[in-house]
Structure 1
């Protein structure tokens, strides 16, 4: 039993000796003796920055409002005989909407017309008499007093005719006011009165409201801070805008779809709302199909201007450090990684617009960032970059 144990011991120790000898024969310089470690730099995907003109757009909330609005009220009192329009339909300027009972106004017009005819006849008689007295005065056939009375009567008759002409014009206007018309082209709303209702002149309650919807206004609110930054960018040349041309505006509707027609910014308020710190701007949009209705909430995409040398980098190439500052890893000409701290303006179609920190021609790491460290050597492989907005 002892003899067999001595014979088995070398056999059991042989595999351990062989393993130790193989370990000692590994390639020199391999860490931990691991076979096949070549030490090649890691491969990363980069995008080469190419500055190009880019149109900058800001998204702002807005609400639609009619281009023109008219609240129709009667200018004379009376009973409504007929409503002459379809609610919700389109009307034109001057179209009759309501017909009032015109009997009293027609009678007043006829009376004024008759009074004018009477005063004109009296004027003709006074003119003839004044002419005869003028001839008789030269022949000393009438006294100077009679002549003067005839001239005064003539002037009085002329004044009476003028008064009656004004009365007839007033009666004609009041008679015309019995036909209540639309002052503008537009779409008419719901009528608040029916046939047989009594209305009064210049009453506070409007009979109906007419709104012009083509074109249509969109009122946009922008913070005063945004407005100041935009003006500074235009003043120092970072943004350019064609002279005399108002910025173009596009709309995103409530369902997320884009309105097919573009508008133009019309004007901006000259005061800031002290409650909200916002400035109201107004844009004008064509609305031939009446797709936009008053009161709709929309998002307006306002073109601020063109940045001629915009630096855009894919968002996956920008990270934030422990202080929250945006950074990017750049591969320099020697193939080494350099960390850059950035100043970011805004996001544009999946890319960041960079104000500072990157230059034209920089190679930014967008893939394999976890394999790259500042100061390390890497092998850069160019990958496709999405085109900036506005191309």
Structure 2
């Protein structure tokens, strides 16, 4: 009995001690401040995001060089990639048969001229009628026209460059038989002091272009549109900026896209026909509400942020996003200038949770991705 009583007293004492320790821990926990989270005041900024579209490059002038007469190529006087001047000889065709035809045609001219010279005095003396003379003159004119045609063909056998530029692929070599009816040109001479970059926008992007660019019509909007950039096939950025010049302004029913053409200076002839790459088209969001994606979370398909209330508790709020630009959201609605939001650690928060706010400059939150934007 004595042992049972002693055990009960010991148990009671232990319970009192444990209760005392628990109360102290609860009191200490009650005295601890809420967890600290960085918050920033939302402000407006002008930022530029970029969208990329595949593009094909062509010289501003691409002139097919074709034979105007049939014949065998006797000489190829240029090489691929060579710079040539307008009027420079590129190919020479064999002209032996044409030269023989020209000789025969010239002989017919002489015969016809002799006939005319013979008839003139006879007509003047009234020995023969003038009709015979007019017929002889017509025969002379026909012989001269025939000779001029053959001489022109001899000239066409010397194939010249129609423009200043650079020689493309040479499709035929010496000994090849060519004619004016060939589908494939002898070569193409391209003026690449400037180049065209062709690309297409889908219907949604085209509507955004029309709605977000200043101007009363398509021509004015194109004139007001900022410069575009070109990403080369190896992933590097081309040094020259380009300007959009034209657009079809019509949606292709087969592809659902609208075609655009930009022009780039090409002082070092780095670009040429057939190059590919990506056009980087800027979209400017002026005086926009911008927040880091890290400050948001998703819930049932909605994008949410935690706003800081006056009593230092946080409340969740749905935002509507206009654009996703790299690591930032451009906010259309749900936030206004002056609102304070938690910028990191939102996964640890819940509605109406008290926090200790640590205010940070909003620009410092955007600093890691600052280089991706133009202010």
TM-score (norm 1): 0.76
Q: Which residue number corresponds to residue 171 of structure 2? A: 192
Q: What is the CA-CA distance between 1:37 and the residue it aligns to?
A: 3.4
Specify which of 338, 355, 359 is matched with residue 378 of structure 1. Answer: 355
Judged with a 3 Å threshold, the aligned counterparts in structure 2 of structure 1 residues 13 and 121 are, in CA distance, closer, same or farther, namely: farther
Q: Does 1:254 align with 2:247?
A: no
- In the aligned structure 1, how far is the partner of 2:67 from the partner of 2:39? 73
- Structure 1: which 5+ residue stretches go unaligned? 134-141
- In the aligned structure 1, how far is the partner of 2:354 from the partner of 2:215? 39
- In the aligned structure 1, how far is the partner of 2:103 from the partner of 2:322? 76
Q: Is the 1:60–1:221 Cα contact (8 Å) retained in structure 2?
A: yes
Query: How many pairs does the alignment contain?
Result: 365
- In the aligned structure 2, how far is the partner of 1:155 from the partner of 1:267? 59
Q: What is the CA-CA distance between 1:121 and the residue it aligns to?
A: 8.5
Q: What is the CA-CA distance between 1:279 and the residue it aligns to?
A: 2.0
Q: Does 1:390 align with 2:374?
A: yes
Q: Is the 2:215–2:224 Cα contact (8 Å) retained in structure 1?
A: no
Q: Which residue number corresponds to residue 95 of structure 2? A: 102
Q: Is the 1:329–1:338 Cα contact (8 Å) retained in structure 2?
A: yes
Q: Which residue number corresponds to residue 13 of structure 2? A: 17
Q: Which residue number corresponds to residue 136 of structure 1? A: none
Does 153-162 or 225-234 show the bigger shift? 153-162
- In the aligned structure 2, how far is the partner of 1:340 from the partner of 1:121? 105
Judged with a 3 Å threshold, the aligned counterparts in structure 2 of structure 1 residues 185 and 245 are, in CA distance, closer, same or farther, namely: farther
- In the aligned structure 2, how far is the partner of 1:25 from the partner of 1:193? 99
Q: Does 1:206 align with 2:185?
A: yes
- In the aligned structure 2, how far is the partner of 1:359 from the partner of 1:173? 78
Q: Is the 1:266–1:283 Cα contact (8 Å) retained in structure 2?
A: yes
Is the partner of 1:248 in helix, strand or coil?
A: coil
Is the partner of 1:311 in helix, strand or coil?
A: strand
Q: What is the CA-CA distance between 1:170 and the residue it aligns to?
A: 2.6
Q: Which residue number corresponds to residue 308 of structure 1? A: 286
Q: Does 1:268 align with 2:247?
A: yes
Q: What is the CA-CA distance between 1:225 and the residue it aligns to?
A: 1.9
Q: What is the CA-CA distance between 1:179 and the residue it aligns to?
A: 0.5
Q: Which residue number corresponds to residue 64 of structure 1? A: 57
Q: What is the CA-CA distance between 1:371 and the residue it aligns to?
A: 4.5
Judged with a 3 Å threshold, the aligned counterparts in structure 2 of structure 1 residues 51 and 114 are, in CA distance, closer, same or farther, namely: farther
Is the partner of 1:342 in helix, strand or coil?
A: strand
Q: Is the 2:213–2:224 Cα contact (8 Å) retained in structure 1?
A: no
Q: What is the CA-CA distance between 1:71 and the residue it aligns to?
A: 3.1
- In the aligned structure 1, how far is the partner of 2:215 from the partner of 2:41? 27
- In the aligned structure 2, how far is the partner of 1:333 from the partner of 1:252? 48
Judged with a 3 Å threshold, the aligned counterparts in structure 2 of structure 1 residues 243 and 203 are, in CA distance, closer, same or farther, namely: closer
- In the aligned structure 2, how far is the partner of 1:70 from the partner of 1:242? 31
Judged with a 3 Å threshold, the aligned counterparts in structure 2 of structure 1 residues 190 and 58 are, in CA distance, closer, same or farther, namely: closer
Q: Is the 1:246–1:266 Cα contact (8 Å) retained in structure 2?
A: no
Q: What is the CA-CA distance between 1:265 and the residue it aligns to?
A: 1.4
Find the structure with the greater CA-based Rg: 1
- In the aligned structure 1, how far is the partner of 2:322 from the partner of 2:49? 11
Judged with a 3 Å threshold, the aligned counterparts in structure 2 of structure 1 residues 111 and 274 are, in CA distance, closer, same or farther, namely: same
Q: Is the 1:93–1:181 Cα contact (8 Å) retained in structure 2?
A: yes
- In the aligned structure 1, how far is the partner of 2:182 from the partner of 2:167? 19
- Structure 2: which 5+ residue stretches go unaligned? none
Q: Which residue number corresponds to residue 206 of structure 2? A: 227
Q: Which residue number corresponds to residue 284 of structure 1? A: 263
Q: What is the CA-CA distance between 1:316 and the residue it aligns to?
A: 0.2
Does 116-125 or 93-102 show the bigger shift? 116-125
Q: Does 1:53 align with 2:46?
A: yes
Specify which of 320, 324, 334 is matched with residue 357 of structure 1. Answer: 334
- In the aligned structure 2, how far is the partner of 1:176 from the partner of 1:250? 46
Is the partner of 1:256 in helix, strand or coil?
A: coil
